[in-house]
């Protein structure tokens, strides 16, 4: 397998899941700041110009964080990334979709790419402020979900990867104080050797 990633991007969540499996994979640097996602080489793999992009061993390409996270969990059962019950799987998908589609795409993207939401520069500060509201609310919602549990679906699962990368952005990029349960989850995730290996490869503290 080959994971196309950019350091500190949302692909970090998939990177750590691949590390959890223990399966061989190559991490291919696709530097978003340098526009590598728009190169013909990359768009021939993923015309969406996004990481994470996973090239599987049969050469087929899988995109979209939630689909990739679920596929990894389903394909490497020994890693125990798939919750054991239907309810657990539903909760893992619920948390992943909320982290990616709301906290990331609606919140963080407004803060870092206000121009994607409002063409006029005069509106950018208001767009960023709205993004920060959405991001903070997202963390507060996840904080409540984690009440009385260590991970989003009870036991550690693929559903923890989305919350991990948005927590990383909150702590390292936005300098936010994470809410108590989210901070505990973030610390537990950072203590995992697989997470440490993924972060080290991406050059993250």
Among 43-51, 77-85, 90-98, 177-185, which window interacts with ligand GSH (CB under 6 A)?
Answer: 43-51
CB 16 within 8 A of CB 161: yes
**Based on CB atoms, which residue is closest to ligand GSH, 28 or 80?**
28
Question: In the bound complex, what is the minimum distance in angstroms from residue 33's beta carbon to ligand GSH?
Answer: 10
Backbone φ and ψ for 117, nearest 5 degrees, come out as -110, -25
Among 65, 135, 158, 164, binds ligand GSH (CB under 6 A): 65
Give, in degrees to the nearest 5, the angle at Cα 197 between 192 and 202: 125
Q: Is 54 in the site for ligand GSH (CB under 6 A)?
A: no
x/- mask, ligand GSH, residues 87-126, rule CB under 6 A, reads: -------------x--------------------------
Among 9, 69, 72, 92, binds ligand GSH (CB under 6 A): 9
Assign 61 to helix, strand or coil: strand
Distance from C-alpha of 157 to C-alpha of 89, rounded to nearest angstrom: 9
What CA–CA distances, in Å, run from 196 to 20, 114, 159, 203?
10, 31, 18, 10
Q: Please work out the total of residues on this chain that contact ligand GSH, with binding judged by CB under 6 A.
A: 11
Distance from C-alpha of 85 to C-alpha of 48, rounded to nearest angstrom: 33
Q: Is 51 in the site for ligand GSH (CB under 6 A)?
A: yes
Which residues are near ligand GSH by CB under 6 A?
Answer: 9-10, 32, 37, 49-52, 64-65, 100
């Amino acid at each position: 397998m080959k994971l196309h990633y950019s350091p500190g991007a949302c692909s970090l969540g998939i990177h750590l899941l691949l590390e959890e499996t223990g399966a061989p994979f190559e991490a291919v640097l696709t530097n978003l700041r340098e526009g590598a996602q728009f190169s013909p080489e990359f768009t021939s793999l993923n015309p969406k110009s996004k990481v994470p992009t996973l090239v599987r061993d049969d050469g087929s390409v899988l995109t979209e964080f939630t689909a990739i996270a679920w596929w990894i969990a389903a394909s490497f059962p020994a890693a125990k990334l798939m919750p054991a019950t239907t309810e657990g799987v539903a909760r893992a998908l619920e948390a992943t979709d909320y982290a990616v589609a709301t906290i990331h795409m609606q919140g963080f993207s407004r803060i870092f790419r206000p121009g994607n939401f409002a063409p006029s520069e005069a509106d950018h500060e208001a767009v960023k402020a709205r993004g920060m509201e959405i991001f903070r609310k997202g963390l507060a919602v996840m904080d409540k979900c984690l009440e009385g549990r260590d991970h989003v679906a009870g036991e550690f699962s693929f559903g923890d990867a989305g919350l991990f990368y948005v927590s990383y952005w909150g702590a390292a990029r936005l300098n936010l104080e994470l809410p108590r349960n989210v901070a505990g989850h973030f610390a537990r995730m950072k203590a995992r050797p697989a997470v440490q290996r993924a972060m080290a490869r991406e050059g993250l503290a």
